[in-house]
């Protein structure tokens, strides 16, 4: 089946409506015929997710190659979550939990990329809070970045459900997504500059 290229907003609206209806029909059919679920796989948009090598171009400050690759894979996962949050009408708790996962993921990434074993105060023996304070003292990051990272770490620690003292209902918002991205990018850019790498 051949589809014409979308050339304007009106055509986009029509295409979205048609695609949404088809996806629903596919889901309904596969639910009724679970043995056919292999044929019900929908093609994920090519080009939306950056490749791991593309992501690693902005991670040149990471000295350990294994860590650098694993961080790039984690950031690819973040892109998948982004597509589901911002390119579908997923709402309510399902959307909130995806936002939470994305925020926690970036918290874990930030924790990992602040470890520099050869640098005083930045080794594994220092906790994340102490390492970020050390980076601030070294002028690697500024006060704004430090505050963002402190906020992000608090959110990341909500990953452990048995430690969450409140009901996770109407708690996570898209603004949390944006704030966590600002924290990560600010830290990443500061570390690249510290290590003498310009932003790619």
Q: Which CATH number fits the domain that encloses residue 156?
A: 1.20.120.580
Domain that holds residue 24: 1-43
Query: Do 86 and 161 belong to one domain?
Result: yes
Instruction: Identify which has the larger pLDDT, 169 or 101.
Output: 101
Residues 38 and 68 in one domain: no
Average of per-residue pLDDT across 65-86: 97
CA–CA gap between residue 46 and residue 29 (Å, rounded): 25
- Rounded CA-CA distance 19/12 in Å is 10
Find the mean pLDDT for residues 57-67.
96
Assigned domain for 200 exists: no
- Are 104 and 38 found together in one domain? no
**Is residue 2 predicted with pLDDT exceeding 80?**
no
Q: Is the pLDDT of residue 89 over 90?
A: yes
Check: pTM over 0.85? Answer yes or no.
Answer: yes
């Amino acid at each position: 089946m051949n589809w014409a290229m979308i050339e304007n907003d009106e055509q986009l609206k029509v295409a979205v409506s048609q695609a949404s209806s088809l996806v629903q029909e596919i889901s309904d059919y596969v639910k009724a015929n679970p043995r056919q679920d292999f044929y019900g796989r929908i093609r994920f948009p090519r080009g939306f997710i950056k490749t791991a090598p593309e992501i690693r171009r902005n991670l040149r400050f990471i000295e350990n190659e294994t860590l650098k690759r694993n961080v790039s894979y984690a950031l690819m996962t973040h892109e998948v979550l982004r597509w589901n949050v911002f390119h579908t009408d997923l709402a309510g708790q399902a959307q909130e939990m995806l936002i939470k996962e994305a925020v926690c993921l970036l918290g874990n990434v930030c924790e990992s990329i602040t470890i520099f074993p050869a640098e005083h105060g930045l080794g594994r023996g220092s906790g994340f809070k102490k390492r970020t304070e050390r980076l601030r003292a070294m002028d690697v990051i500024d006060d704004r970045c430090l505050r963002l990272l402190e906020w992000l770490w608090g959110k990341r620690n909500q990953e452990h459900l048995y430690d969450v003292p409140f009901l996770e209902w109407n708690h996570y918002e898209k603004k949390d997504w944006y704030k966590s991205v600002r924290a990560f990018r600010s830290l990443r850019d500061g570390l690249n500059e510290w290590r003498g790498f310009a932003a790619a």
